[in-house]
């Protein structure tokens, strides 16, 4: 399993022809207490940079962007009833979307963990 990161603080974990996308623990910490998550419809197609989901916290609302192209094949319904899962487990149980990957070469444009850690300083 490969995990990559975006400059907008999303992570993407590749699992075969699919990928799971969420926000990093750093992003969750910056957001503060998450109170609402809006997830996309299954079947939605996205390209890099498309708004894929919305996270609302006590501080602000933020978009979650698609790191690569693909089709939404699953969403984390747990977040609708328990949005705080993003704060509690941002890099595991707090995932947002499962994508069917359209073009694996797009992953090459994303950061590995070392580069992401340098990015957040």
- What is the total count of domains within the chain? 1
Q: Does residue 113 fall inside a structural domain?
A: no
Q: Does residue 76 fall inside a structural domain?
A: yes
Summary mean pLDDT of the chain: 97
Q: Does residue 114 fall inside a structural domain?
A: no
The CATH number covering residue 38 comes to 2.40.50.100
Contacts of 61-66 with CB under 8 Å at 24 or more apart are 62/27, 62/31, 64/10, 64/21, 64/23, 64/96, 64/97, 65/6, 65/8, 65/10, 66/21, 66/99
Q: Does residue 110 fall inside a structural domain?
A: no
Q: Does residue 22 fall inside a structural domain?
A: yes
Phi, then psi, of 27 in degrees rounded to 5: -65, -45
C-alpha separations of 107 from 13, 16, 46, 56, 94 in Å: 10, 13, 14, 27, 21
* pLDDT mean over 73-79: 98
Q: Does residue 112 fall inside a structural domain?
A: no
Q: Does residue 111 fall inside a structural domain?
A: no
Is 90 exceeded by the pLDDT of residue 48?
yes
| Host domain of residue 60 | 2-104
Return the pLDDT at 1: 74
Q: Does residue 119 fall inside a structural domain?
A: no
**Global pTM?**
0.96
pLDDT in tens, 81-96: 999 999 999 999 999 9
Return the pLDDT at 116: 98
Return the pLDDT at 88: 97
């Amino acid at each position: 399993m490969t995990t990559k990161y975006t400059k907008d603080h999303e992570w993407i974990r590749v699992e075969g022809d699919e990928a799971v996308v969420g926000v990093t623990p750093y992003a969750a910490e910056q957001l503060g207490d998450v109170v609402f998550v809006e997830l996309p419809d299954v079947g939605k197609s996205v390209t890099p940079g498309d708004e894929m989901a919305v996270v609302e916290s006590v501080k602000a609302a933020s978009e979650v962007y698609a790191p690569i192209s693909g089709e939404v094949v699953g969403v984390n319904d747990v977040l609708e009833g328990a949005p705080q899962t993003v704060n509690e487990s941002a890099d595991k149980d707090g995932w947002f979307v499962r994508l069917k990957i359209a073009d694996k070469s797009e992953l090459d444009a994303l950061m590995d963990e070392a580069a992401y850690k340098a990015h957040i300083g």
